[in-house]
Every structure is written in structure tokens, then in C-alpha cells.
């Protein structure tokens, strides 16, 4: 029974892992776009009026520090390839 469970996990990992990582990358891109649209004025890109940004602040507050670090980090050619 244990062998069959492990075999099922291996087969599932071989078939679904690529799709799961692609979905996680797309979700991260959408989250970054949302943060840029709502809180872009922190980076000097005002897109929405501050009123709407302040209304959304309680929901996005835990993610602000990581998002700013991601958006302001230096990138090179190898980042574009991967």
C-alpha cells in the first residue's frame, strides 16, 4: 500500500509539477501588477488616486515590503532568460 502511494505521488509530480509552477509564476505576475496599479505612487508611478489606494491598504499591507524589494532590485540579462 505504501509503495502504491509513493508511486502515485511520483507520477503526479511528473505530470503536474510543470503546470503548478507555471500557475504560480502567473499568479506572482498578477499580484505584482495589482500592487503596481494600487500602490505605484510609492515608487513614483501614480496610476490610481490615493483614495482607492488607502482603501486597499489594510489588505495589501503585509506584502508591501516584499513587493518594494522585488520591484526595486537590480536585474540583468540572466533574469530575463529564466
DSSP 9-25: HHHHHHHHHHHHHHHHH
Using one digit for the tens of pLDDT, what is the confidence trace for 45-59? 777 777 777 787 888
- Residue 64 · residue 32 · CB < 8 Å: no
d(CA 50, CA 38): 9
pLDDT band at 80 (very low <50, low <70, confident <90, very high): low
pLDDT band at 3 (very low <50, low <70, confident <90, very high): very high
Amino acid at each position: 500500500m505504501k509503495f502504491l502511494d509513493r508511486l502515485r505521488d511520483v507520477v503526479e509530480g511528473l505530470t503536474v509539477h510543470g503546470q503548478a509552477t507555471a500557475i504560480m509564476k502567473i499568479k506572482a505576475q498578477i499580484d505584482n501588477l495589482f500592487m503596481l496599479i494600487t500602490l505605484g505612487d510609492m515608487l513614483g508611478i501614480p496610476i490610481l488616486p490615493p483614495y482607492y489606494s488607502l482603501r486597499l491598504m489594510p489588505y495589501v499591507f503585509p506584502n508591501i515590503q516584499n513587493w518594494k524589494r522585488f520591484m526595486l532590485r537590480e536585474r540583468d540579462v540572466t533574469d530575463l532568460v529564466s
